[in-house]
Amino acid sequence: MAEPAKKPTKKLRTIDPAFVALGPSGVSIRDRLKGLTPEDEKVLARVGAHLGSLASKDLKARCADGLEHSTESWAARKRELTADSSSRWAGSITKATHDQWALARRGQAAHLQSLEAGIKTIAHRLSLPVGDKGIKRAPGGYRSAHEWFCKMRRLHVLRDRLAAVRADRDNGVVHVARGGKRLLGTRHNLDAAQLSEPEWRKRWETARWFLAADGESGKRYGNETIRITPDGEISIKLPAPLAGLANAKHGRYRLAAKVSFAHRGQEWADRVEANRAVAYRIHLDVTRGRWYVDACWTFPITQTISMETALAHGVIGVDTNADHLAAWRLDTHGNPVGQPRRFSYDLSGSADHRDAQVRHALSQLLNWAKTCGVRAVAVEDLDFTAEKTREKHGRKRRFRQLVSGMPTGVLRARLTSMADATGIAIIAVDPAYTSTWGAQHWQKPLTSKTRKTTRHDAASIAIGRRAQGHPIRRRTTPPPHHQSDGAGHRTVQAGSVALGREGTRRPVTDRGQEPPARSGTQQGTRATSASKTVRDARGVGQ
């Protein structure tokens, strides 16, 4: 008789170890320029427009160099810009140009990866019969012959795009729009944007201005080009063609407005008084009609603490979702403590509104962590680069929108920066199977009549336990043999000093034959009978 075929076991991918995320390497603060006179605004606009035209020419020259860029070409570009501005303005412009070109190259690489992922998925589905059902991890064939034909056409389109992008990347060609590609596209959709042509033109020209200066350590107040004193007075070194607009010594223009940074103002003042480098950027918000100044500086990356120190007081596991953060506190043994928490946010609306929502939710999370005395927060190291492709999930438009709307990168950067100021460590864990295994092992046991545990709550427990190095399942299988101490204790349970721990249980057969527990007082008139066994009798005589 032939043996029945065994069901093939599912191969799980390797789980990467958890690690403590590095702290931030810089800080940026902003304040509004209040009290500007019309003359001040006119001078700022002329300086920004002049330097913006120089920045556009320099970016064009850098893109023309492509991969042939060298130190000599950079020095030549800087010398050419110095004649129309100054050496420091030229240095800031060329540095911004290099950063913009490098950003375009990274975006080009991401676009190349997205095209390759889409082509791979379409080619796989086209190779399957029409109507073939897929499995959980791989899609099946297309539903109809018409869809198969349309996808075949799209495959050829994507391959043509891939060839063009690869050719550009090999030749060092990038496509950059100073002012923003989105604002450039708005020019052809003014009715939808509810803008007139003059309004759009003003936004476009303002976005292409350049009023940014890098700081220099050892110089007065940390910046010679845009100088801000500890009292908040602002003065700008005018470019050579606009030196006639100066109202102060050495070709400088002093603004009537003063600034006082509310956020990290003391830290900024300490750097300025010590003549340490601080970079500034002045810009205009056209929609509000307000001028702002940004101050930023860098510092050595904060050294992370050890994993043992971070987890000494437990951990809070956080599951990131499209509209909320699901969090649960775990003790040092990986057991959930208290009730789960949920911190909601709304990611609709403008970019400023979305950023404010994320910051508010993270502030609530960190305040709760400080109240609990926990020094570590565990989050998933998510990256949906390959999951955001249009071909990955086919017609599941709502799911694609859900994945694309999750603020993984912004949330992780914000959380790392905000947690560093509070002394809380951020632990990044592998996101593999956290939702599946958390729901399998924790959702049902933690659900009661008064508490409904969601799948996201259970996932937060799985994330916290993975950060602590515990298996996600609640307990391991019983020991072999006779299910007693013959093979040792269970490997996943609280230590002997923990309150309410579950020790190794005795077999059911032994407990079933035990007499009921008796108190110290006798019940009834019957006295306790003496033992009739030889062993007990011998013990009494001794």
- Please compute, for residue 525, the number of CA atoms within 13 A of its CA located in the half-sphere on the CB side: 0
235 and 100 in a single domain? The answer is: yes
- Residue 420 near residue 23, CB atoms below 8 Å: yes
331 and 264 in a single domain? The answer is: no
Q: Which of 433, 434, 308 is nearest to 375 (CA)?
A: 308
Helices (H), 301-407: 307-310, 351-372, 397-405
225 and 140 in a single domain? The answer is: yes
Determine how many CB atoms are found less than 10 A away from the CB of residue 58: 22
285 and 337 in a single domain? The answer is: no
Does residue 345 lie within any of the structural domains? yes
465: left (phi over 0), alpha (psi -120 to 50) or beta: alpha
Q: Which residues of the chain have pLDDT under 50?
A: 1-2, 384, 386, 503, 508, 510-514, 519, 521-531, 533-542
261 and 345 in a single domain? The answer is: no
CA angle 510, 514, 516 (to 5 degrees): 145
Rounded distance between C-alpha atoms, residue 220 and residue 223, angstroms: 6
Q: How distant, in Å, are the alpha carbons of 67, 335, 346, 461 from that of 328?
A: 50, 10, 21, 6
Does residue 409 lie within any of the structural domains? yes
Which pLDDT belongs to residue 542? Answer: 42
Does residue 497 lie within any of the structural domains? no
H-helix or E-strand containing 341?
A: strand 336-344
Q: Domain span at residue 311?
A: 307-468
Please provide the distance, in angstroms rounded to a whole number, between the alpha carbons at the two ends of the chain: 65
Rounded distance between C-alpha atoms, residue 151 and residue 429, angstroms: 37
Q: For helices 71-82 and 87-126, what crossing angle results, to 10°?
A: 130
Mode of pairing for the β-strands spanning 425-429 and 376-380: parallel
* 3-class secondary structure, 254: strand
Domain boundary, last residue among 243, 267, 298: 298
Which pLDDT belongs to residue 164? Answer: 96
Tell me the β-bridge partners of 258.
34, 233
Tally of structural domains, the chain: 2
- Residue 354 near residue 347, CB atoms below 8 Å: yes
Which pLDDT belongs to residue 537? Answer: 43
Domain boundary, last residue among 298, 316, 351: 298
- Please compute, for residue 498, the number of CA atoms within 13 A of its CA located in the half-sphere on the CB side: 12
320 and 288 in a single domain? The answer is: no
Which pLDDT belongs to residue 397? Answer: 61
For the domain that residue 325 is a member of, what is the CATH number? 3.30.420.10
350 and 210 in a single domain? The answer is: no
Q: Which of 52, 120, 444, 2 is nearest to 281 (CA)?
A: 52
Domain boundary, last residue among 468, 494, 515: 468
| Residue 10 buriedness (CB in 10 A; 0-12 / 13-18 / 19+) | exposed
Does residue 489 lie within any of the structural domains? no
Which pLDDT belongs to residue 291? Answer: 96
Which pLDDT belongs to residue 100? Answer: 94
Does residue 526 lie within any of the structural domains? no
122 and 179 in a single domain? The answer is: yes
- Residue 36 near residue 256, CB atoms below 8 Å: yes
266 and 389 in a single domain? The answer is: no
292 and 325 in a single domain? The answer is: no
255: left (phi over 0), alpha (psi -120 to 50) or beta: beta
* 3-class secondary structure, 381: coil
Does residue 525 lie within any of the structural domains? no
Rounded distance between C-alpha atoms, residue 142 and residue 137, angstroms: 16
Phi, psi of 532 (to 5 degrees): -105, 5
**Tokens encoding 295:** 């101050």
Which pLDDT belongs to residue 23? Answer: 82
Mode of pairing for the β-strands spanning 233-237 and 279-285: unpaired
Does residue 107 lie within any of the structural domains? yes
Determine how many CB atoms are found less than 10 A away from the CB of residue 257: 17
